[in-house]
Structure 1
Amino acid sequence: MAAELPNPRDIPPRLLGFLDDLFTADQRDDHPSSSSYDTARGLAAQLSRESTGLDGDLLLLRQNLSSLLVAWISRSFSAKAALQNLHLNLQKTKPTATTTPPYGIGSTTFQKMLCEDLPRLAAELKRIEKIRLYADITLQLEAMVGDLEDAVLSVVNQRARNALMDHESRQEMFFQAVRFMNDIEEILASPVKFQPHWYHLLKSVDSRVDNILTLLRPLVLADHRAVLSSLGWPPKVWTAETQNRKTSILPNPLVLMQVDRQKAYSKSFLALCALQHVQKHREERQLGLVGQKEKLTIGLWAIDELVSPIASRMEYHILKWTDQPEFMFALVYKITRDFIVGVDDVLQPLIDKTRLVSFSAKESWVSAMVQSISAFLTKRVFSVLSERYREKETRLEVITSWLHLVDLMVSFDKKMLSLLSSEHYLFMGDAERLEGSSRYLSVFSVFSDRPDWLKIWGKIEIKEGTVKLKAELKHERAWLFEIKEEASSAIDRTNKQFLLYTREDHKAPLIVESALKLAWEMIDRGKNLPDILSRIQFIRSTATKLLWYFFNSLLLQYKRTECLAHDCSNDSLLTRYGVINAARYCEYKLQEWSDDVNFLEMKIAESEYNACVKGDGDDNRRFFGEEIKCLADLQVNCLMEIIAGILYQFETLTQEYIQNKEQFKQEKEDASGFGASMCMNFPVSDDFLEALDSLRSQLCIIHANLNPLDFSDLWRSVVDGLDRFVFSSMFMNGYRLSQRGIDQLRADMQALFLVFKPFCARPEAFFPRVRNALKLLDMNRKDLRQLQVVVSSNVLDRTDCVRSFGIMHLSFDQAEKILSSRDLGLHL
């Protein structure tokens, strides 16, 4: 009896589809041909061979399972026997009436059990538990990876045989594959944290999943592209209407699609986002396994699929504008702006549905559009410009085009970033925006991967900046500076010395403003570079070099002033004042720049890079530390020469005054003793007037032309030098002083103090040695005798004895020499 054919309704759908694909339409006839029988026989033979192979594999698995069970049972028996022995040993060690007390439990058997048997048993149980856990996880992963492979291979086989499968079925299989991958990632999360030594198991699973992804992702992308094509994407980027009306908005197919197509696109978008979501988790786990940080990215595969065909259409128009890059930037900005609202409204809810919390539809759209034009600039623009730059004949033309292109890129980046209105982006700092997720939002990323282009850009910038600075230096008004007339007193102006902000406050020449402006423009353009090391390299090769060039100009200007130290009235000193003011203002501005958070971060990154790569650290804590130190040294050198000139001229003009001993010789004292003529008014010595008048004139000129900060240091240093000189020349020269000579000397010193009265309220406070010397000469007999008694008592140190009378800045020997200039009959 012939075998009864099965009812088609009882055949499973997968088997029925398999048979339908196998037999062609002409083979499903009522009268099968010989080819149909051949196909059936071939199919039966193939299935028989596969069945035999599967039976063999099943038998082998059963044998392996049997051996594993036997090994497990033997280990279980061993563990059970060890536990029984432990129990018996514990029973034997129970205390009885005839045995030793509990504290006497110290037999060799008991100690051996505690020290050897128990730890060995615990280790064995732990090892067995690890083996069991490893086997369980391995079996789970094997089953899940097998299901994933079956699900993907079934779709691949159907597409290879041109089998028909509706969109919903394909999407369901895609989602099923993604669920399998999520389940695998959840199982792998625990071994990554607690069993990192299972490296080979993780690597084996990742290898198989990667192989599946190489098949799955193209399928999902192909399905998604088919849906986009049915929507009419990509739209036309250039129409007659857009050509005639620049403000017209391009139609967005994402907003205009019908309900049924919107449903199909949503499912396809979700499938692609879900696949990227699980892939993102896989990359995070793999990076954590090797100890690397997560790579920040904002790109969405689904957004990239929207941009890629648009970029292809834009390239047709952009190729015509290689010599007019402003048009290509305008076109990209227009397309980005016209579609961004629809992208955000339609796609952001779908992104949120897939739990891609770190992704934004707006940022992904803007980033993808920026990267599209960046790729075009790399292939078609900068590659050509860099080649032409190496040719001397076209270098000047390239420089102009390069700088114009950079200006357009700066403007384009600002306009593209203005499209992102999210609060998260607006409240991020500049460094966080560039180094974080938004580093892909700048077309300057073309320089991050091409350091040779960055080097060319730096050379162009420094060359153009140097040319402009040289032209400014040759200007007749370059070294001029304005002096503001202030109604307040000199003391009030001096009290405001720490409130200097502008170039006018520092009395710096005009050229300083030009140099700093050129340097800051280079820095501002370099801030657009997304990579911090690239920004450091660019700023060091442009702005820093320009600043050093200007510092050398200051040094040359300083050396041109052929002013000798003894000739401080020369007009060339005005030039030196301008150099000092310029250095002070530059130092102030560089300190202000260095305190900015962006420069602080760049300095930290630069120090870490030098320590790791070059092996040398940097002691400067500021980004412009070396430049600031150079300016400070220049100021000190200039000021020291001016101070030395002032002191030298004062010493020269007072030589005759110091050598005139007659005016200080001892005369007959009044009966009243010391201090009798202290209240008398004495005119200033004629030999001393010229020196005081010259000193006053010099200080007034310097005060009018030098910035307040440096002038404050200058006059204090001059006072200190005068205090030392006058003290050593007038009080320590061994003159015999009469009372009249003391009064004359006091009057001359008061006149010296008054020279510095416009600059401070109590100038005598800055002459400690002269002031203490006059105080000693003004002491009466009673105070001198008391000082003599204190010194002879040997209770205090001799210098402390002098200090107890208010003489704080002189030693005992100096005080004794000053007092010995009068013959009092008293000796300390």
Structure 2
Amino acid sequence: MEFQRDTRMSSLYWAMEVEAQPTPTVRSHRTVREVVSATTGDRTTPLLDQTALIPSPPHGRAMSSRPPAPTLRGFLDAHFASPDDLPAAPALAELLRRECAELDASLRRLEAHLAAAAEAWLARSAGARSDLARIRTTRGGGRFVVGGEQEAAGTATDVGLPELVREIRRIDNIRLYAEATLQLEALVGNLEDAAFSIVRQASKLNRKSNEAERKQGKLLHTVDAVRDIERELVRISSARPLWTNLVMAVDSRVDKTLAILRPQALMDYRALLASLGWPPPLSSPDTDKDKYSQIPNPLVLMNEENKDRYSQSFQALCALQHVQGIRELRQRQTAPVTPALADFNYYDRAACFENGLWAVDELVHPIASRMEYHFVKWSEQPEFIFTLVYKITKDFMDGVDDILQPLIDQARLVGLSAKESWVSGMVKMLVGYLERQIFPALDCSNQDQTTVGKPEVDSSWMHLNDLMISFDKRMQLLADSGIQKAACLSERLSRSLSVFSIYSEHPEWLQIWADAELSSAQAKLKSEMEDETRWSCDGQHDQLGHMENSFKFLLSTREDYKAPPVSESVVKTALSMIERGRALPNRGMQIQYNRSSSVRFLNDFFLVLRDRCEALQLSNTALEDQSLSKICVAINAVRYCENVLREWDEDTTFLDMGPEGSLFSDGTSFLVKLGTNYLEQIMSCILLEFEDLSWEYVQNIGSWSAQIALDDQILDEENLVVSPGFVASLDVLTDRTSKLKQYLNSKDFLDLWRSIAEGLDYFIYSSIRWGEVTFSDPGVIQLRVDTKALLHTFRPLCSRPEAFLPFLSESLRLLTMKKSDAQSMLEMLMDDTESEKCLRHQGFYHVNACQAAKILRSRNSGDNLVGTKS
């Protein structure tokens, strides 16, 4: 490599010419070279040619090349060394006269040139002074300037001053740009000189300790030079964001230098490790005797001199990696203003080491070559591969921590752990081998038409991933150093410490694993889903009294929901897949895995629940007990799964599963709709069955009331029985209610019986032809008895079932009012403005004014009901 100081800043020249190009509309009175010369004095640099500032000799003549004599005696001694030289005196005198004449002519020309330049400068100065005077006079008050002079002053104010400001600003920017260019030229030159010295010293192949120390010192000097350049580039990027060409030119040259320095530094580091005896043998002498002993660590066995050499080499390599990481971090930043170098926070400093320490990785590489010799023999037994990697990592852990951690602390690499770096390097080594040898073979087996879909192929994938999960947990325990880490740093470390990082580069392998998990789960539950005993609800044949004692509304377990055992098996299987997916190092891979495994598995089970409900085909006229039991069990399974999915959504593990909402939101919505639909079907079947059995009775309400004899026994409400046409429907309703309470979970049963009660209330009330029939006193009493029987059906479920049959309750209140009160209410109901207010005042909140008037007119004009309460 050759560093030529006269040509290495050509890229900076180009950037300077592009970014400091004079504005074409404003005439520049000074060139860039004159500006730089004026601002830098007699400082020399390859960027600028200061000889352009030296006056040229007179036209047509060249200056005498013979230097003048220091003194007259010396001049005479030079020309008249002996008496023989005296005849040449006239010629010498003529030469001197001619040269004096030429010098006098040159002096007169210079005086004339100086006079012309001074005159021109005075003219420009006078013009500028005159313009400024006119500007001042115009801004102070234009009354003292008249005619054309006032117009000229206005033109100078409007046009001359802005151009003057822009010209001054442009010249100042050129000066600043040139200063920055000169400073960067010096810094980059120092860096290239130091790098050239390191490479030239390395070519001598001198391995003396003092030479190695000098080389490490020069390497640290280059790191300091890069830091200085970075500070200057950060300052320029912050203050002058448009000087991108200059920054890019410097970055290009610094990157080329670092591309030469890093291999050289790594080569020297490897040579030092080899001289220290690294890598050690992977087995100890006691292994053949079936005795386990820890492998000796050459880093622990170093003497003081070697420790000093290794410490210097390690810290120099860490410093080089740190400064290169800082450069990459600055180059990746997309913000328009780059923050100051001193403002880089702790996490940004650690970001450059997220792929591991170079010095630690160089400890791993020579061990990897020896370990892979054994890996090849265990391609069919990957558990041995993981065991060997864990053993080697553990055997060297204490030595690495004792030797390297103090060096990391001395290098001021805050937050970095030697344990984590060592474990991360070993994990990356294992990932590389799995990526080259193990996974491609499994992938070929999965794509082979003769083996695709076979259980042994899926078993191989799952077995390998089980080994990876166990290995990751053990390695995480080794790497745990007790340092409190922020979330973003922990996530970066988890990626580097996980074997599952292999899936980040190969998402197709992640999909194969998810498919294998799904196939295995479906195969395990296939026989269980076909067993009808697994679909039966535990305790569904218990006595009703026992069910009442266990009746509650805070449900959490499968038993609380009365769900079948198969639903719990499905949930546990899905949860096991989710737990296995948590080993993946980032959220994106976890989402992809879960959507292809656990989510698909659950959705398939939800479709099975829907198919079982649809296969029952509930009748509109008769609801069979077996169908009612099966559909209740299916609804219980739906509600149990829905509750489990909602709990998972509230878990912090699933909160960050993507911007599109919950991972299980679609499944939850499907279950909610499925459960609601079939609860409505049950309610519809019960209401239709009740309507079919009580249709004749309901149609005759009011017509039979006139036929009831008026005697004291009939008017006694306590001695009356339920109407014969109403008994069968009440018996069926009681049976259905008790079975639903036995089969259905308590929450859905609560909503269901209340909805049934409200439906029956509206059905009976709307079926009575109010205003067309007339209720006698015995007819009203009979209606009260029948309504009480209906309320008695729901009495075990609620202390005030009247609240869920509001239309019948309010209708009976209106029918049993005193004649005077009924007449007064009718009169108030005739007033449209007061009717609703009157009803609310009397406690009627469901029937409106028109309905209340019809009910009151359906009452005959007899006296109060005997034996009733008004």
TM-score, normalised to structure 2's length? 0.78
Counterpart for residue 141 of structure 1: 184
- In the alignment, which of 314, 323, 333 is matched to residue 278 of structure 1? 323
Q: Report deviation, 1:82.
A: 8.9
Counterpart for residue 858 of structure 2: 821
- Residues of 1 paired with 2:402 and 2:122: CA distance? 67
Contact 2:420/2:480, CA 8 A, preserved across alignment: no
Counterpart for residue 448 of structure 2: 391
Counterpart for residue 36 of structure 2: none
Contact 2:472/2:497, CA 8 A, preserved across alignment: yes
Q: Report deviation, 1:230.
A: 2.0
Counterpart for residue 257 of structure 1: 302
Counterpart residue identity of residue 463, structure 1: S
Counterpart residue identity of residue 648, structure 1: L
Contact 2:386/2:471, CA 8 A, preserved across alignment: yes
Change (3 A) 1:679 1:490: farther
Counterpart for residue 493 of structure 2: 437
- Residues of 2 paired with 1:513 and 1:326: CA distance? 32
Alignment of 1:487-502 (within 5 A): 496-497=552-553, 499-502=554-557
Counterpart for residue 413 of structure 1: 472
| 1:171-193 per-position Cα deviation (integer Å, ceiling 9, x unaligned) | 11111111111110111011222
Change (3 A) 1:203 1:742: same
Change (3 A) 1:224 1:822: same
- In the alignment, which of 356, 364, 382 is matched to residue 307 of structure 1? 364
- Residues of 1 paired with 2:614 and 2:669: CA distance? 19
Change (3 A) 1:94 1:190: closer
Change (3 A) 1:321 1:743: same
Counterpart for residue 26 of structure 1: none
Change (3 A) 1:793 1:210: closer
Counterpart for residue 623 of structure 1: 663
| 1:760-798 per-position Cα deviation (integer Å, ceiling 9, x unaligned) | 2211101111111112112212322322342345542x4
Counterpart residue identity of residue 634, structure 1: L
Change (3 A) 1:634 1:481: same
| 1:258-301 per-position Cα deviation (integer Å, ceiling 9, x unaligned) | 11111100000000000011001100110115779977715111
Counterpart residue identity of residue 262, structure 1: K
- Residues of 1 paired with 2:431 and 2:612: CA distance? 45
Q: Report deviation, 1:669.
A: 7.8
Counterpart for residue 326 of structure 1: 383
- In the alignment, which of 746, 750, 763 is matched to residue 712 of structure 1? 750
Give the secondary structure class of the aligned counterpart of 1:448: helix
| 1:722-758 per-position Cα deviation (integer Å, ceiling 9, x unaligned) | 1111111246483321111111111211221121122
Q: Report deviation, 1:687.
A: 2.5
- In the alignment, which of 696, 710, 716 is matched to residue 656 of structure 1? 696
| 1:460-514 per-position Cα deviation (integer Å, ceiling 9, x unaligned) | 22222221121221234320221387999978855x31x2111111111111111
- In the alignment, which of 774, 797, 807 is matched to residue 769 of structure 1? 807
Contact 2:765/2:808, CA 8 A, preserved across alignment: yes
Q: Report deviation, 1:564.
A: 1.7
Alignment of 1:272-671 (within 5 A): 272-288=317-333, 297-395=354-452, 396=454, 397-424=456-483, 435-483=491-539, 496-497=552-553, 499-604=554-659, 607=660, 621-661=661-701, 663-665=704-706
Which range is displaced more, 181-190 or 621-630? Answer: 621-630
Q: Report deviation, 1:822.
A: 1.8
Counterpart residue identity of residue 558, structure 1: C
- Residues of 1 paired with 2:751 and 2:468: CA distance? 47
Counterpart for residue 615 of structure 1: none
Which range is displaced more, 271-280 or 325-334? Answer: 325-334
Contact 2:188/2:229, CA 8 A, preserved across alignment: yes
Change (3 A) 1:59 1:271: closer
Contact 2:730/2:790, CA 8 A, preserved across alignment: yes
Gaps of 5+ in 1: 1-55, 68-72, 608-620
Give the secondary structure class of the aligned counterpart of 1:392: coil
- Residues of 2 paired with 1:687 and 1:274: CA distance? 98
- Residues of 1 paired with 2:288 and 2:756: CA distance? 75
1:177 has 2:238 as partner:
no
Alignment of 1:163-242 (within 5 A): 166-242=211-287
| 1:533-560 per-position Cα deviation (integer Å, ceiling 9, x unaligned) | 2222221111111112111211222233
- Residues of 1 paired with 2:395 and 2:124: CA distance? 74
Gaps of 5+ in 2: 1-43, 56-117, 339-347, 864-870
1:123 has 2:166 as partner:
yes
- Residues of 1 paired with 2:218 and 2:603: CA distance? 66
Counterpart for residue 782 of structure 1: 820
Counterpart residue identity of residue 461, structure 1: E
- Residues of 2 paired with 1:61 and 1:568: CA distance? 106
- Residues of 1 paired with 2:810 and 2:124: CA distance? 98
Contact 2:564/2:637, CA 8 A, preserved across alignment: yes
Q: Report deviation, 1:343.
A: 1.9
What CA RMSD, in Å, does the superposition of the two structures yield over aligned residues?
3.4
- Residues of 1 paired with 2:160 and 2:601: CA distance? 78
Which range is displaced more, 660-669 or 547-556? Answer: 660-669
Aligned residue pair count = 734
Contact 2:814/2:856, CA 8 A, preserved across alignment: yes
Counterpart residue identity of residue 548, structure 1: N
- Residues of 1 paired with 2:543 and 2:50: CA distance? 104
Counterpart residue identity of residue 201, structure 2: Q
Alignment of 1:49-128 (within 5 A): 61-63=49-51, 84=129, 87-89=132-134, 92=137, 115-128=158-171
Contact 1:158/1:164, CA 8 A, preserved across alignment: no
Change (3 A) 1:237 1:646: same
Q: Report deviation, 1:57.
A: 9.3
Q: Report deviation, 1:374.
A: 0.6
Contact 1:388/1:398, CA 8 A, preserved across alignment: yes
Indicate the percent of aligned positions where both proteins have the same amino acid: 41
Counterpart for residue 695 of structure 1: 733
Which range is displaced more, 407-416 or 680-689? Answer: 680-689
Change (3 A) 1:117 1:358: farther
Counterpart residue identity of residue 647, structure 2: E
Change (3 A) 1:209 1:582: same
Counterpart for residue 51 of structure 1: none
| 1:604-626 per-position Cα deviation (integer Å, ceiling 9, x unaligned) | 2xx3xxxxxxxxxxxxx322111
Q: Report deviation, 1:168.
A: 0.7
Give the secondary structure class of the aligned counterpart of 2:299: helix
- Structure with larger Rg: 2
TM-score, normalised to structure 1's length? 0.82
Contact 2:314/2:359, CA 8 A, preserved across alignment: yes
- Residues of 1 paired with 2:54 and 2:444: CA distance? 72
Change (3 A) 1:248 1:718: farther
Counterpart for residue 83 of structure 2: none
- Residues of 2 paired with 1:486 and 1:419: CA distance? 57
Change (3 A) 1:792 1:110: farther
Change (3 A) 1:576 1:667: closer
Contact 1:272/1:301, CA 8 A, preserved across alignment: yes
- Residues of 2 paired with 1:804 and 1:315: CA distance? 91
- Residues of 1 paired with 2:636 and 2:741: CA distance? 12
Give the secondary structure class of the aligned counterpart of 2:784: helix
Counterpart for residue 100 of structure 2: none
- Residues of 1 paired with 2:478 and 2:543: CA distance? 49
- In the alignment, which of 764, 786, 794 is matched to residue 726 of structure 1? 764
- Residues of 1 paired with 2:272 and 2:313: CA distance? 8
